[in-house]
Amino acid sequence: MHQIPRRIFIGSSLALAAATGARPSRAAGTTDLIVGVPTNLTGLDPADVNDTLSQSACRLMMQGLYGFDKDMNLIPVLAESYTANDTATEFTFKLRTGISFHDGAPFDAAAVKANFDRVTNPANHLKRTSLFAMIDHTDVVDPTTVRFVLKSPFGAFVPTIAHPSGMQLSPKAIQQYGRDISRNPVGTGPFKFVSWSADTLRVTKNDKYWKPNLPQLASVTFRSVPENGARLAMLQAGEAQFIYPMPPEMIKAVEHNANITINNAPSIYERYVAMNVMKHPYGDLRVRQALNYAVDKAAFAKVVWSGYEDPADSPIPPHLAFHVAQQPWPYDPAKAKQLLSQAGLGDGFDTEIWANTTTIALRAMQFLQQQLGAVGVRVKVTALEAGLLDSKIWSVQKPADSALQLYTGAWSSSTGDADWGLRPLFWTQAGPPKLYNVGYYSNKDVDADLEGALATADPKKRAALYADAQKRLWDDAPWIFLGVDRNLSAQSKKLTGLHMIPDGGLLIEEAALTA
Amino acid sequence: MLGYFLRRLAGTIPVLIAVSILVFGFVRLLPGDPARLVAGPDASEADVQAVRQDLGLDRPIYWQYAHYVGEIFQGNLGRSSRTRLPVSYEIGQRFMPTLWLTLAAMGWAILAGMGIGVLSGVRRGRWEDQGGMVVAVSGLSFPPFWLGLLLIDLFSVRLGWFPTGGYESPASIVLPSFTLGLAVAAVLARFTRSAFVEVASEDYVRTARAKGLPERRVIWTHTLRNALIPVITMTGLQFGFLLGGAVVVETVFAWPGLGRLLVDSISYRDYPVIQAEILLFSLEFILINLAVDLLYAVVNPEIRLR
């Protein structure tokens, strides 16, 4: 713990304020990395966290059978390879040998079974249980072979295993700590847990790490600094070597700083406006097309994101598996007006747009209000705090109860796969409260594609089905397709090998600092 | 005095019970389903249901309250629904940072605020008074958010004297406590001055001067002592507010205090943490009020506590 020593409060605080303290103690050595992050961690149990930051923190210490490289490609980590049966109901993984958890417990098939038995048991009340709900049971075939038997075909199983929630904890530690494993995590990864207090996580090098010559850092510290300017100041003052997110509007202030590099990397966050097809006039294809013609996507990137946003070219972003680029919707307000006239809305119409209360969301809604206003659509802008969004959108029980007309938000498929990029948003059965199809879009052909692609593990068949689904969705325009975010971060020039992957997670294993 | 103290302390119990019922009811009136907020943005309905059962939110509200109170009497504040860590641990981690920040900010604010207030009162209408009040009004008008960022830019980025934030070393407390204390110092300066000026025109002050007491005794014994009563009240109030956490200063300086915890907990509808924090703040206010009453008696022996 780092309590402030009592003695400094003896005597007046004025004297303290007047005293010019020595330059604050920096990290002990040149191989201690400090990362400035925007929010507090919510936990360190991979099966019980659902935010990207906590998952990045878990990834310092824990690993899964499969994982993602810096470009979000699926790679084996604790497993060497897998095989699947033709119906995508059985997946067998061959494990690496000679790996131990930080507490000395061996990593083997029994450990994998213990982890998946834990996360799939609803009695454990873990937040990610449903992610693995397709698993019927897990078998130890031999100490280095584990087999998952699924309840129904699930072609996206390996990306699901690679999801951060599939990272492995020491079975011994699970026994020992029970629910408090969340603040005593033990994995096989490059760093070992030291401490996690309110806003600071510290980990130290795992000297027995199974990959040779890694990690190069002696320690890593995550410090949560919510204020954008203060986080950037940390980097400028040399108190941190990596910060994210880098606010786009502040880039100009530091881009000529000789010690700082701005990282501008692709992400898998797609921004959209969902239209509720159950509500007049959004059931009319011509209206949905008109709105896509009415919004200038290049201006959206410029006005809302200071230029750091790519145009969307499919319902899923380019760095997701099975993405196929479509023909862009050009900016054509005349065509938009013409389509609205054909739909009997020559005088325009009144509507309302909802989003959360972040600065970016407000800016996006105001921008859309202006753009749609130019073709006669009068938009009322309403920002909703998280609890209100929940009660007005995500918890609505029946489509008829939804008052939603337009909603703008973003989605990132946490498995890196097209299934989780499309199914929660466009599948007929994915309406709230079950999943996130807030516009209640329904299309039999798209449903057939999404269901078919899950029923096979053959990448070729899946690719063809997802290509068809993307084409249909793009033309049917259940969304105004806005853009794909960039992952903006900033770092010291002394730092190398730290990557932000497209899902916003951090890969720190290979990071190194030069003096 | 001791009897008075104990009776007042016992009187806090019904107040705390009333607060607990009010808070318990109010947090549940907030729109939004805590189970869904905790389960996260890509949870399924089954996940949400599991979280709801885990948090006991599927039970009737009177059951939830009875359960909550029963647990409190066993010294158990429950677990945060967001992090699933014990609430006592979550609050305990942030209580000391908030206390240190409050003490440091109040410490310098009381000295500076009262000092400026007395100086302005004594030198009423002169340049010291004018200058002091310009400082006080500026201190009140400075948005702490902006001031904090300016201080970070000057003292951390350019000069490198203090860290930009965090709760790491003794030097970490300087900038946040200055920022937090500025408005308090300004309020106290204005309060002290007006109380001082009012008392200075009382008959007994004139009498003291008339009987030839030295000016120093007139100021310190006769005037200031009597002017202190409203100042102590104000100080107590400010102290209570600061102990409740300072969201803006904690945010700018990445200080792990109670204010940010409360705001985070509200946005996640983390009922157990919100309830415990509000109970804690109520208790703090009650104790501070008690301390203020006791101080009255110390400053002015004519005030008898019964």
Q: What is the pLDDT of residues A182-222, one digit of tens each?
A: 989 999 999 999 999 888 999 999 999 999 999 999 999 99
Residue contact B37–A387, C-beta within 8 A: yes
Lowest mean pLDDT among A315-319, B52-56, B147-151: B52-56
Four-CA torsion A386, A392, A394, A396, nearest 10 degrees: 150
Q: What is the pLDDT of residues A111-129, one digit of tens each?
A: 999 999 999 998 888 888 8
Which chain A residues are Cβ-neighbours of B148 within 8 angstroms? Answer: 230
Closest by CA to A484, choosing from A193, A177, A293, A267, is A267
Residue contact A23–B160, C-beta within 8 A: yes
Residue contact A17–B42, C-beta within 8 A: no
Residue A373 bridge partners (DSSP): none
Nearest beta carbon to residue A13 from set B96, B107, B252? B107
Residue A12 has pLDDT above 70, yes or no: no
Chain A nearest C-alpha distance from B156 (Å): 6
Residue contact A9–B103, C-beta within 8 A: yes
Residue contact B174–A237, C-beta within 8 A: no
**Per-residue buried b or exposed e for B5-30, using 16+ beta carbons within 10 Å of the residue's own CB:** eeebeeebeeeeeebbeebbeebeee
Q: What is the pLDDT of residues A280-300, one digit of tens each?
A: 999 999 999 999 999 999 999
Round to whole Å and give the CA distance between A216 and B26: 51
Mean pLDDT across A30-48? 91
Round to whole Å and give the CA distance between A251 and A363: 18
Q: What is the pLDDT of residues B270-290, one digit of tens each?
A: 888 998 999 899 889 888 988
Nearest beta carbon to residue B40 from set A25, A127, A179? A127
What's the pLDDT band for A104 if we cut at 50, 70, 90?
very high
Nearest beta carbon to residue B111 from set A12, A22, A126? A12
**Residue in chain B nearest A4 by alpha carbon:** B170
What's the pLDDT band for A28 if we cut at 50, 70, 90?
very low
**How high is the pLDDT of residue B305?**
62
**Under DSSP, is residue B185 helix (H, G, I), strand (E, B) or coil?**
helix
Spatial CB neighbours of A475, under 8 Å, sequence gap ≥ 6 = none
**Residue in chain B nearest A412 by alpha carbon:** B42
Q: What is the 3-state secondary structure (H, E, C) of A237-291?
A: CCCCCEECCCCHHHHHHHCCCCCEEEEEEEEEEEEEEEECCCCCCCCCHHHHHHH
Beta carbons of B83 and B90 less than 8 angstroms apart? yes
Residue contact B108–A14, C-beta within 8 A: yes
Q: Provide the terminal-to-terminal Cα distance of chain A, rounded to the nearest Å.
A: 28
**Residue in chain B nearest A18 by alpha carbon:** B174
Mean pLDDT across B149-171? 89
Lowest mean pLDDT among A74-83, A319-328, B276-285: B276-285
Q: What is the pLDDT of residues A263-282, one digit of tens each?
A: 999 999 999 999 999 999 99
Burial class (CB in 10 A: 0-12, 13-18, 19+), A310: middle
| Position B131, amino acid | G
**How high is the pLDDT of residue A390?**
81
How many helices (DSSP H) and strands (DSSP E) are in chain B? 14, 0
Residue contact A387–B54, C-beta within 8 A: no
Residues of chain A with pLDDT > 90, as a percent, come to 74
Q: How many residue pairs from chains A and B have C-beta atoms closer than 8 A?
A: 195
Round to whole Å and give the CA distance between B62 and B11: 25
Chain A nearest C-alpha distance from B74 (Å): 20
**Residue in chain B nearest A13 by alpha carbon:** B108
Tokens of A134: 């397709």
Mutate to test the interface with B, among A2, A25, A42, A165 (most CBs of B within 10 A): A42
Q: What is the value of pTM for the model shown?
A: 0.83
Residue contact A13–B103, C-beta within 8 A: yes
**Residue in chain A nearest B94 by alpha carbon:** A198
Q: What is the pLDDT of residues A358-376, one digit of tens each?
A: 888 999 999 999 999 999 9
Which chain A residues are Cβ-neighbours of B103 within 8 angstroms? Answer: 9, 13
Please state, in angstroms and as integers, the Cα–Cα distance from residue A512 to each residue in A219, A253, A495, A498, B71, following that order.
11, 26, 6, 8, 48
The bridge status of strand A242-243 relative to strand A32-37 is parallel
A 10 A CB-CB count for A247 gives 18
Lowest mean pLDDT among A17-26, A396-405, B7-16: A17-26
Which chain A residues are Cβ-neighbours of B38 within 8 angstroms? Answer: 127
Mean pLDDT across B57-79? 85
* Mean pLDDT score across all residues of chain A: 90
**Residue in chain A nearest B115 by alpha carbon:** A14
Beta carbons of A61 and A191 less than 8 angstroms apart? yes
Q: What is the pLDDT of residues A458-503, one digit of tens each?
A: 899 999 999 999 999 999 999 999 999 999 999 999 999 999 999 8
Residue contact A51–B39, C-beta within 8 A: no
Q: What is the ipTM of this complex?
A: 0.79
**Residue in chain B nearest A233 by alpha carbon:** B157
Beta carbons of A437 and A424 less than 8 angstroms apart? yes
Mean pLDDT across B151-160? 91
Closest by CA to A77, choosing from A92, A63, A89, A90, is A63
Tokens of A331: 């900016």
Nearest beta carbon to residue A125 from set B44, B50, B254? B50
Residue B112 has pLDDT above 80, yes or no: yes
